[in-house]
Amino acid sequence: MISIERLSKAFDTARGTSHLALSDISLDVAGGEFVSILGPSGCGKSTLLYIVGGFVPPSSGAVRVQGAAVTGPGPDRGPVFQEFALFPWKTVLGNVMYGLLEQGAPKKIAEDRARALIEMVHLKGYENFYPKELSGGMKQRVAIARTLAYGPSILLMDEPFGALDAHTRTGMQHELLEIWERDRKTVLFVTHSVEEAVFLSDRVVVLTRSPGRIKEISRIDLPRPRRRAELLVDRRYQDYVVAIEKLMDDPAEVRA
């Protein structure tokens, strides 16, 4: 589905030097797979996601989606950002309808589909609210509905629950899995929380500190559908978390 080939990204710094953010990343993600990218802050994990999204060009290497090279954003890859990035001048309904109208859907059809999605993310009754009137968790639900609206086959999620409080966060994780179980989209999920990555993913990719390289890829063999309450007391879940935690604070890394 997604194939990332020998990807590197360097940024020009303000001082005129060049900073290597990502180095030699190669990764294949199968259709319907849920893959998390985990790493310390500043390891370029979000940048990797932006390159797959086509928002930022790579310095070298390439990304292919179903065989076609990525040259820019497209409705086959829908982003969800930590900052929600909702359009403040549009209502909840307007935000969710946006992508459908951009895709040329007739207004009536767009509205019906948007209303159905809003109901799916449990925001029925909030259609005419503006984003500023919603809590963080509600905003993120709108953002997810807005992205699902135009039917991307891949979801690119950039620390989507990073700005939410712990309680809302676990609730949103469950909701996300529910949605995912239903239509099994391919998901690339960036996070710095080990528990979140293990709980959600089929595979967890651990990146090193800058420049970001792939340090290890762990397959998470836990049965689905997953329930947080059950996993917390599951030995296998705990082992995954501990093993990946260990990888993350490997002392050999700290020199950077």
Query: What residue ranges bind other proteins (CB under 8 A)?
Result: 50, 53, 55, 72-75, 77-79, 81, 83, 85, 87-91, 98-99, 102-103, 130-132, 143, 146-147, 150, 152
User: Nearest distance from residue 44's CB to other proteins, in Å?
Assistant: 16
How many other CB atoms sit within 10 Å of the CB of residue 144?
A: 24
> Where are the strands (E) in the chain, listed by range?
2-12, 18-29, 34-38, 60-65, 68-69, 77-81, 154-158, 186-191, 203-207, 214-219
User: Nearest distance from residue 145's CB to other proteins, in Å?
Assistant: 12
User: Nearest distance from residue 152's CB to other proteins, in Å?
Assistant: 7
Q: Is 64:2 a contact under the CB 8 Å cutoff?
A: yes
Is the CB of 143 or the CB of 194 nearer to other proteins?
A: 143
How many whole angstroms separate alpha carbon 41 and alpha carbon 54? Answer: 22
Phi-psi region of 23 (alpha: psi -120 to 50; beta: other; left: phi over 0): beta
Is the CB of 56 or the CB of 247 nearer to other proteins?
A: 56
The token duo for 192 is 């710095």
Is the CB of 86 or the CB of 206 nearer to other proteins?
A: 86
Helix 166-183 to helix 136-149 angle (10° resolution) is 20
User: Nearest distance from residue 130's CB to other proteins, in Å?
Assistant: 4
User: Nearest distance from residue 250's CB to other proteins, in Å?
Assistant: 32
User: Nearest distance from residue 110's CB to other proteins, in Å?
Assistant: 12
How many whole angstroms separate alpha carbon 144 and alpha carbon 182? Answer: 15
How many whole angstroms separate alpha carbon 186 and alpha carbon 180? Answer: 9
How many whole angstroms separate alpha carbon 95 and alpha carbon 130? Answer: 9
Question: Reading across the β-sheet that carries 60-65, which strands appear in turn?
Answer: 18-29, 2-12, 60-65, 68-69
User: Nearest distance from residue 95's CB to other proteins, in Å?
Assistant: 9
Residue with tokens 């099994």: 184
Is the CB of 3 or the CB of 91 nearer to other proteins?
A: 91
Is the CB of 132 or the CB of 219 nearer to other proteins?
A: 132
Is the CB of 11 or the CB of 55 nearer to other proteins?
A: 55
Is the CB of 158 or the CB of 195 nearer to other proteins?
A: 158
